[in-house]
Structure 1
Amino acid sequence: MDEEMFFTIVGFKNYHGLKPFKVGGLLKLIKDKVNAYDDEAIAVEMRYAGKVGYVGNSTNTVFRGTMSAGRLYDKIADEGYAQIKFIGQNSAIGKILSKEEVDILKEDPDCDFYYI
């Protein structure tokens, strides 16, 4: 993955709010292939919290400089990994992790990387 890919996390108010989010926190992205509202939906999960939201997929929910779920959908496998990079008062932005970044995190004994 040559370019950094950032995305906006939305829908967290329907789950746990921003409470489980912390900069550097690990995320699992899962294509939600049975989503009745969005054919390109990507769910966002965190350890201990489960589903915490979705990747934004409309002009009203995607921050400038971040990618929509539609743009990310074909760039990630059915499951992918990301890390929280920014948290605002009412928002969070994550960064897709490359395979190399995931491999480095898997070797870090202090990393809480439970997905792999």
Structure 2
Amino acid sequence: MYITIQAFDKLHGSKPLKLNGIVRLVKEPDNRYDTEAIACEMRHYGKIGYTSNSTRTVIKGCMSAGRVYDKIDENYFAKIKFVKDSTAIAKILTLDEYTEELKDPESDIHYLLEGD
């Protein structure tokens, strides 16, 4: 599954969005604008933006936050595959890909899990 990430332009710009960067997906059911909101967090930056949930912002071939929301639970991660300006396309990691990332002691997953 692929998602579109819209980064906060004013906070960090496109700086956190790097190829193969690991993003933690965090559901925000109490979000006042969107009950299916999925925040995106990265090491060194914290919350960098959200998974797109609008037909205007979801890139063709990606799933909206609403379509992904019930398919993930807490501590889901994605890996950035494409970046343009403050928008990225990321692949949600499968269980096998997640397990493989955990084997790498330098993976950002370890640092993103520390906050739990």
Match of residue 101, structure 2, among 80, 105, 108: 105
Runs of 4+ that moved beyond 6 A: none
Q: 1:70 and 2:66 equivalent?
A: yes
Q: CA RMSD in A?
A: 1.3
Q: Deviations over 1:16-64 (max 9, x none)?
A: 1111111000000000111000010000000110000000001011010
Residue 76 of structure 2 aligns with which residue? 80
Residue 20 of structure 2 aligns with which residue? 24
Match of residue 7, structure 1, among 3, 6, 25: 3
Counterpart amino acid of residue 31 in structure 1: K
Distance 1:71 1:77, change over 3 A: same
Distance 1:33 1:95, change over 3 A: same
How far residue 110 of structure 1 moved from its aligned partner, in angstroms, is 3.6
In 1, are the aligned partners of 2:77 and 2:93 still within 8 Å (CA)? yes
Residue 55 of structure 2 aligns with which residue? 59
| TM-score of the superposed pair, with normalisation by structure 2 | 0.89
- Percent of paired sites with the same residue: 49
How far residue 11 of structure 1 moved from its aligned partner, in angstroms, is 4.2
SS of equivalent residue, structure 2 residue 53: coil
Match of residue 112, structure 2, among 98, 106, 115: 115
Unpaired segments ≥5 residues, structure 2? none
Mapped partners of 2:54, 2:100: distance in 1: 33
Mapped partners of 2:75, 2:105: distance in 1: 23
Q: Which moved more, 1:88-97 or 1:64-73?
A: 88-97
